[in-house]
Amino acid sequence: MGLLFCILNGLFWAFFDITRKLSLKYLHPKILLSFFMIAQVIIFFVWTLYEKNFYFSYNYVLPGIILIFISVISAIFFLKSILHSDLSLTIPLLSLTPIFSSLFSLLFLNEKLLLTQYFGILSIVLGTLTLYTKELTLNSFFRSFMIIKENKGAKLMVIVSIFWSVTPVIDKICLKYTPINYHGLFQSLGMLLALVSISVKEIKTLNFPLRSSSLIIITLLIGTTATILQFYSILENYVPIMESIKRTIGQVCAVIFGYIIFKEKITIQKVVGVLILSIGIFYIF
C-alpha cells in the first residue's frame, strides 16, 4: 500500500504540473495559488469535522510556521519557473532536491555520505548538464552552466529544489504533533493569509476568466489530491523513497506531456538527461 501511495502521489503531482502551466495562461501565479489554498482550506476543514482522534502539541508551531514561509516562496518561484520555461527543462531540475537533502544532512546532521551517494550526486549533476546541452560534446557540457545561469526558469527551479529538499522532512516532523487533516488545514490557511497579504495589487485587478473555470477547478482538485497523497506517502514510507519515486515519475511525465500538450521538442539530450537523472536519484538514496 505504501508503494501504491508513492506511485499515485508521483502521477498526481505530474498531472498538477501540467494543469498549473495551462492555468497560468489565465491567472497570475499568486492568484492561482490563493485559489488553490482556498480549495484546500475548505476540503481540510470539512475533513476535520469527521476527525475523532484530534491531538495537537505546541511543538508543532515553530516547524509549522517555517513550513508556511518556505511553501509560499517556493510555490511562487515554481509557478514563475514553469511559466517562463519548458516543462521538460524545468521539472527535471527538481532532481537536484535529493542532492541538497544529502548535503544538508552532511553539513548539519554530520551524516556521512556513502560512495554510492557520491555517484548519485555526480549522476544528477551530469544529467542536469545534459538537459541543457546543445549537443553531446564536452564543450557543450561546460556551456550548460552558463545556459542554466542565464535561464530565468532554470534559476528559479534550482532555488525551488533547495527549498523542497527540506519540506518533506518538516512535514514529517509536523505530522508527529497533529493529524493529517489538521496539518493540511493549518498549512493551507497560513499560506492563504500570507498570499493575500502580498497579493493586494493582483486581487484588485483580478478579472476571472469564466471560459477557463473548468480547467482551474480541475487544477485545484488535482493539486489537493496530490497534497493528501503526499501526506499519506510520507507516513507510510521513508521520505527519500517517496521523493525518489515522485521525482522520477515527474520528470518522465514532464518530457512526455511537454511534447504531447505543449509541443515541446523531445531531443536526445532530454532523453539521456532524464535517464541519467533517474539513475542518480535512486543511487543517492
3 state SS for 148-198: HHHCHHHHHHHHHHHHHCCHHHHHHHHCCCCCHHHHHHHHHHHHHHHHHHC
Q: What is the pLDDT of residue 150?
A: 85
Is the pLDDT confidence value at 113 over 80? no
Lowest mean pLDDT among 36-40, 86-90, 103-107: 103-107
All cell numbers assigned to 279:
539513475
- Residue 42, pLDDT score: 93
pLDDT value of position 187:
96
For residue 261, pLDDT beyond 80: yes
4 against 137, higher pLDDT: 4
Report, as an integer, the average pLDDT of 138-153. 82
Q: Averaging pLDDT over each range in 61-75, 112-126, 129-143, which range is the top one? A: 61-75
Q: What is the pLDDT of residue 110?
A: 67
Q: What is the pTM of this model?
A: 0.86
Average pLDDT over residues 118-126: 85
Q: Which residue, among 87, 91, 254, 248, has the nearest Cα to 161 in the 3D structure?
A: 91
What is 200-249 written as a DSSP string? HHHHHT----GGGHHHHHHHHHHHHHHHHHHHHHHHHS-HHHHHHHHHHH
Across the range 138-151, mean pLDDT stands at 81
pLDDT band at 278 (very low <50, low <70, confident <90, very high): confident
Overall average pLDDT of the 268-285 stretch: 85
Segment 158-179 mean pLDDT = 89
Name the maximum alpha-carbon separation found in the chain: 62
Of the listed ranges 24-38, 39-53, 127-141, 259-273, the one predicted with least confidence: 127-141
Q: Report residue 61's pLDDT band, with 50, 70 and 90 as the boundaries.
A: very high
- Using the predicted structure, report yes or no on whether residue 239 has a pLDDT greater than 90: no
- Indicate the domain borders of the chain: 2-48+62-284
pLDDT at 105: 67
pLDDT tens, position by position, 93-112: 988 887 787 776 666 656 67
Report how far residue 160's alpha carbon sits from residue 81's, in angstroms, rounded to the nearest whole number: 9
Quote the cell numbers at residue 65: 510556521
Check whether 232 has a pLDDT greater than 80: yes
State the average pLDDT over residues 163-173. Answer: 86
